[in-house]
Chains A and B, each alone.
Chain A
Amino acid sequence: MKIPDNLLYTKEHEWVLINGKKAKMGITDFAQEHLGDVTYVEPPDDNKAVKQFEMVTTIESVKAASDVYAPLSGKVTQFNSSLEASPELINKSPYEDGWIALIELSDESEKKNLMNKSQYEEYVTKLSTRE
Chain B
Amino acid sequence: MQNTTDLKNTPLVDEHVNLKAKMAPFAGWNMPIQYEGIISEHLHTRQVASLFDICHMGEFYFKGDALSSGLDRIFSFSLNDIPMKRCRYGAILNEKGGIKDDLIVYRISLDEWMIVVNSATIEKDKKHIESHLKKGSEFKNLSGETAKLDLQGPLSRDIISKLIDPAAAKLKYYSFDYFDILGERNIISRTGYTGELGYELYISSGKVVELWRHLLKDKRVRPAGLGARDTLRLEMGYTLYGQDVDEETTPLEGNLERYLNFNKEFIGRDALFRQKEKGISKILIAFKAQSRRAPRHGYSILKDGKEIGIVTSGSFSPSISCGIGLGYVDIRHSKNGEAILIKSGPTEIEATICEKPFYKNTSIRLRMNRLF
Residue B312 is within 8 A (CB to CB) of chain A in the complex? no
Which candidate, B111-119, B166-174, B287-295, is the interface stretch facing chain A? B287-295
Binary interface profile of B, 264-281, with partner A (CB < 8 Å = 1, else 0)? 000000000000000000
A36 to B318, CA, bound (A): 13
Residue A65 is within 8 A (CB to CB) of chain B in the complex? yes
Q: Which residues of B contact A64 (CB under 8 A)?
A: 296
A91 to B39, CA, bound (A): 12
Residue B316 is within 8 A (CB to CB) of chain A in the complex? yes
Binary interface profile of B, 306-338, with partner A (CB < 8 Å = 1, else 0)? 000000000110100000000000000000000
Binary interface profile of A, 54-68, with partner B (CB < 8 Å = 1, else 0)? 000010101111000
Q: Which residues of A contact B34 (CB under 8 A)?
A: 36
Residue A87 is within 8 A (CB to CB) of chain B in the complex? yes
A88 to B292, CA, bound (A): 12
Instruction: Report yes or no: A40 in contact with B316, Cβ–Cβ below 8 A.
Output: yes
Instruction: Report yes or no: A60 in contact with B227, Cβ–Cβ below 8 A.
Output: no
**Nearest chain B CB to A60 CB, angstrom units:** 6
Instruction: Report yes or no: B296 in contact with A65, Cβ–Cβ below 8 A.
Output: yes
Q: Which residues of B contact A121 (CB under 8 A)?
A: none
Q: Which residues of A contact B38 (CB under 8 A)?
A: 36-37, 62-63
Instruction: Report yes or no: A87 in contact with B292, Cβ–Cβ below 8 A.
Output: yes
Contacts known (A60-B316, A62-B227, A62-B315); A40 close to B292, Cβ less than 8 A: yes
A40 to B292, CA, bound (A): 6
**Nearest chain B CB to A67 CB, angstrom units:** 11
A62 to B315, CA, bound (A): 6
Binary interface profile of B, 1-42, with partner A (CB < 8 Å = 1, else 0)? 000000000000000000000100000000001100111100
Residue B152 is within 8 A (CB to CB) of chain A in the complex? no
A7 to B33, CA, bound (A): 32
A46 to B296, CA, bound (A): 27
**Nearest chain B CB to A68 CB, angstrom units:** 14
Residue B231 is within 8 A (CB to CB) of chain A in the complex? yes
A111 to B318, CA, bound (A): 39
Instruction: Report yes or no: A65 in contact with B294, Cβ–Cβ below 8 A.
Output: yes
A87 to B322, CA, bound (A): 12
Instruction: Report yes or no: A36 in contact with B292, Cβ–Cβ below 8 A.
Output: no
Residue A39 is within 8 A (CB to CB) of chain B in the complex? yes
A39 to B296, CA, bound (A): 13
The B-contacting residues of A in range 42-100, CB under 8 angstroms, are 42, 58, 60, 62-65, 87-88, 91
Picked from B33, B40, B227, B294, the residue with its CB within 8 Å of the CB of A39 is B294
Indicate the member of B33, B37, B316, B347 with the most A CB atoms within 10 Å.
Answer: B316
A116 to B293, CA, bound (A): 33
Binary interface profile of B, 143-169, with partner A (CB < 8 Å = 1, else 0)? 000000000000000000000000000
**Nearest chain A CB to B143 CB, angstrom units:** 28
Considering the complex, give the chain B residue whose CB is closest to the CB of A91.
B37
Q: Which residues of A contact B39 (CB under 8 A)?
A: 37, 39, 62, 88
A37 to B41, CA, bound (A): 11
Instruction: Report yes or no: A40 in contact with B294, Cβ–Cβ below 8 A.
Output: yes
A50 to B22, CA, bound (A): 34
A62 to B34, CA, bound (A): 11
Q: Which residues of B contact A87 (CB under 8 A)?
A: 292
Binding site for B on A (CB under 8 A): 36-37, 39-40, 42, 58, 60, 62-65, 87-88, 91
Shortest Cβ-Cβ A-B pairs, 3 listed: A39-B316, A37-B39, A62-B38
Known interface pairs A62-B315, A63-B33; 8 further A-B residue pairs with C-beta atoms within 8 A, sorted by A's residue number: A36-B22, A36-B34, A37-B37, A37-B39, A39-B39, A40-B292, A40-B294, A40-B316
